[in-house]
Amino acid sequence: MRLLHTMLRVNNLEESLKFYCDFLGMKLLRQKDYPGGEFTLAFVGYGDESEQTAIELTYNWGVDRYELGNAYGHIAIGVDDIHGTCEKIKSMGGKVTREPGPMKHGSTVIAFVEDPNGYKVELIQSKD
């Protein structure tokens, strides 16, 4: 068994694709409209789905807002240069909600950014 994907409902597919692909460097792996169900699925990730976990962005046509609730935590992504990544995201108009620094009660360097829908993405500095 292996983890295949995580699904996030998004209120604007183009904004979300820009965030995950342009800001975070993922690739659009596949996208399909389902007119009968009035939704579109777009899968993004860093590699082929046969070997890598993906994120499924689900856009329900005509829905422009979701309540995130308080159960969702975050997606975590390992990065080689956390400071450079945060600066790039900010320069592109993205929202860094926690600047890079050691996590509380630990030494791992982390930062948090927010996607256009309000979902949190944790960036974790890769260890050399």
Output helix, strand, coil percentages for the chain, rounded to the nearest 5: 15, 40, 45
Closest CA to 75 of 2, 13, 3: 3
Q: What are 92-126's pLDDT values in tens digits?
A: 999 999 999 999 888 999 999 999 999 999 999 99
Is 14 tagged catalytic? no
**What single string gives the DSSP state of each residue in 13-43?**
HHHHHIIIIIIT--EEEEEEEETTTTEEEEE
Does 115 map to a domain?
A: yes
Q: Pick the catalytic residue from 14, 15, 51, 122.
A: 122
Average pLDDT of 26-55? 97
pLDDT > 80? residue 128: no
**Domain extent at residue 25:** 5-60
Query: Which of 29, 60, 91 corresponds to the end of one domain?
Result: 60
If you count them, how many residues does the chain have?
128
For residues 40 and 80, state if they share a domain.
Answer: no
**Cα separation of 122 and 111, whole Å?**
6
Q: What are 12-32's pLDDT values in tens digits?
A: 999 999 999 999 999 999 999
For residues 55 and 100, state if they share a domain.
Answer: no
Number of domains in the chain: 2
Q: What are 60-88's pLDDT values in tens digits?
A: 999 989 988 888 899 999 999 999 999 99
**Cα separation of 68 and 61, whole Å?**
18
Please name the residue ranges forming H helices in the chain: 13-17, 82-91
